[in-house]
Amino acid sequence: MNSIANFEAMLAGSLNLEEPWYVSGASFDEKELALRIHIGIRKDAAFVCPECGGTTRRFGYEKKERAWRHGDCMFYPVYVHCRRPRVVCPHCGVKQINAPYERKNSRFTLLFEGYAMLIVADMNVAKTAALLRCDEKALTSILRYWVNKAVADMDLEDVAMLAIDETSFKRGHKYVTVVIDAAKRRVIDVEKDRDREAVRRFVETLSAKGGDPQAITHVTSDMSKSYLPAIAKHFPNALNIIDKFHVKKTMLDALDEVRKAEQKEVSDKKALFQGRRLFMIPEGKMTTEQSAKLAELSKRYPKTGRAYRIIAALDDFYESKTMEEARSALDSLYSWMRRCRLKPMKEAAETLKRHREKILNYFQSRLTNAISEGINSLIQAAKRKARGYNTLEGFTAMIYLVAGKLDLAVPHPFGAS
């Protein structure tokens, strides 16, 4: 057997201790059921001034011993105890020296915080706090600190393609604007509200982090009256593309209205109601069984069936190989929708017409809002995780954490990244 000295080295390693810091003792507190590690500092060690980096002389220790919560050991909570040294700097006066395992003003060790950041990215705050046996407020402040630091350090210099979208929080009562770097598929900004001001604030952030609004080449967005003029104003060199998922959503909403209206008209409404989700599935993605069922429903409910075929034509439009093909497909879709005698579809046709050029811009770059695909599901998960502390700040921090591809400067407990 090796000696217990290995254990001491492990403790020191987990605390990032180097000379002149050392583990002076460890004991099991039977009353509190916790492991207590005591840290000492060599008496003759010199420290540079934490303020100016100059030479100092030692000036005793802080008055009261402090304790930091560290990672558990054999499921017992571990506390690190230390009276940290103080120094006198000829320029800065008396200064407190921080321990190598701490972040200023935190009651947790860096390793604990690194572990907490790993867990909180996968679990909600309340569960993480229960698992780690720390309070939610403390956990939230750890989360905010590391996320805010990484967000502040984000470099947006080479950002050229944006996706701008909105997402709701607080059960749909409030909205935020989420900006995505489409090339790197990461969230680079979250702004409150979904208006022109949100876009303007993003432009400020972009410029402050090395980006250039003039260098933005592509922006995908929805058809909102707030975003479109702001995009045109702030990104004069960008191709604005209406995101295809938003176009599809407008059409699916219209289909749903057609279906509801038809349900009111017919006596046999049950089958239509039961089959309503079937009409949301693209033709090519159905099983043979589903296709047969849909064909039957379309016969029984011809209006909803017609609306479904219009959606299929929209899918075909997006399959166009060239801009010419796309133009003519969109025009025939539009005239079909105008003549289809389904009011919601006629209204949707006007929306398509109003945004015709921006919809067609898709065929110049084939960019879509990544947010509508992978990132959106991450954001939905962030919403669930942020539920414990339903504030804008908490929600924002969670979005960045799960979808920002942040470079967190916190140590990783397993040495990996």
Residues of the shown chain interacting with Zn ion in the complex, contacts defined by CB under 5 A? 49, 51-52, 54, 89, 91-92
Q: Which two tokens stand for residue 203?
A: 């432009």
DSSP 108: B
- Beta bridge mates, 180: 163, 187
| Closest approach of Zn ion to the CB of residue 98, in Å | 14
| Closest approach of Zn ion to the CB of residue 97, in Å | 12
Nearest 5°: the CA angle 113, 124, 403 is: 80
Contact (CB, 8 A) for 255 and 220: no
| Closest approach of Zn ion to the CB of residue 49, in Å | 3
Among 376, 361, 340, which residue's Cα sits nearest to residue 218?
A: 361
Q: Can you point out the beta strands (E) in 108-212?
A: 161-169, 174-181, 186-192
Residue number with CB closer to Zn ion (91 or 321): 91
| Closest approach of Zn ion to the CB of residue 84, in Å | 17
- The CA distance from 83 to 61, in Å, is 6
Residue number with CB closer to Zn ion (92 or 261): 92
Residue number with CB closer to Zn ion (85 or 213): 85
- The CA distance from 244 to 366, in Å, is 9
Residue number with CB closer to Zn ion (49 or 82): 49
| Closest approach of Zn ion to the CB of residue 66, in Å | 22
Using DSSP, state whether 336 is helix, strand or coil: helix
Residue number with CB closer to Zn ion (84 or 338): 84
Contact (CB, 8 A) for 245 and 372: yes
| Closest approach of Zn ion to the CB of residue 53, in Å | 7
Residue number with CB closer to Zn ion (51 or 324): 51
